[in-house]
Amino acid sequence: MATSQVETISTGADKAKLGVAVVLVVAALAGFYLLSKQGALIQWSVLLLGLVAALVVFFASESGRQLVAFGRDAWREVLKVVWPARKEAIQITAYVFGFVLIMALFLWMTDKTLEWLFYDLILGWKK
């Protein structure tokens, strides 16, 4: 069994960057709603600029860099996947549909058999 170690090193500067990012998001939302009388263009500009600024500050922090590294690693893993050919995908899909159909019939027959056994034979509640 493999054990993985999780390192969480968070300096005061990183916490401050994350705090600034949160403040920028809140300010962008507040600006969007407070500037409703200025017009849609101003509202959306303030919102988008605030969110972009928050993203820049977030990605400058250690958490942001870790998120980017995680995304790169995930993309590398996706590129390693061997996808099935069209014929294989169709065959596997057909097998799944066939299995589901067989299981549905089996469960329906089991349900009807138990219904007949309990209600008709044991309890005598004929329909």
Question: So what's the pLDDT on residue 4?
Answer: 61
Question: So what's the pLDDT on residue 29?
Answer: 95
Could you tell me if 36 and 55 lie in one domain?
A: yes
Could you tell me if 53 and 89 lie in one domain?
A: no
Could you tell me if 77 and 89 lie in one domain?
A: no
Written as six digits, the tokens of 27 are 């300010």
Could you tell me if 35 and 74 lie in one domain?
A: yes
State what percent of residues in the chain have pLDDT above 90.
79
Could you tell me if 124 and 62 lie in one domain?
A: no
Could you tell me if 25 and 75 lie in one domain?
A: yes
Write the pLDDT tens digit of every residue in 32-76. Answer: 999 989 999 999 999 999 999 999 999 999 999 999 999 999 999
Could you tell me if 30 and 7 lie in one domain?
A: yes
Identify the band that residue 23 occupies on the pLDDT scale cut at 50, 70 and 90: very high
Q: Could you list the residue range(s) of the whole structural domain that residue 98 is in?
A: 84-127
Could you tell me if 97 and 75 lie in one domain?
A: no
Could you tell me if 60 and 92 lie in one domain?
A: no
Rounded to whole angstroms, how far apart are CA atoms 124 and 116?
10
pTM of the model: 0.57
CB 51 within 8 A of CB 28: yes
pLDDT at 1 over 60: no
CB 36 within 8 A of CB 54: no
Written as six digits, the tokens of 55 are 């993203």
Could you tell me if 88 and 111 lie in one domain?
A: yes
Could you tell me if 73 and 14 lie in one domain?
A: yes
Could you tell me if 56 and 106 lie in one domain?
A: no
Rounded to whole angstroms, how far apart are CA atoms 44 and 36?
10
Number of domains present in the structure of the chain = 2
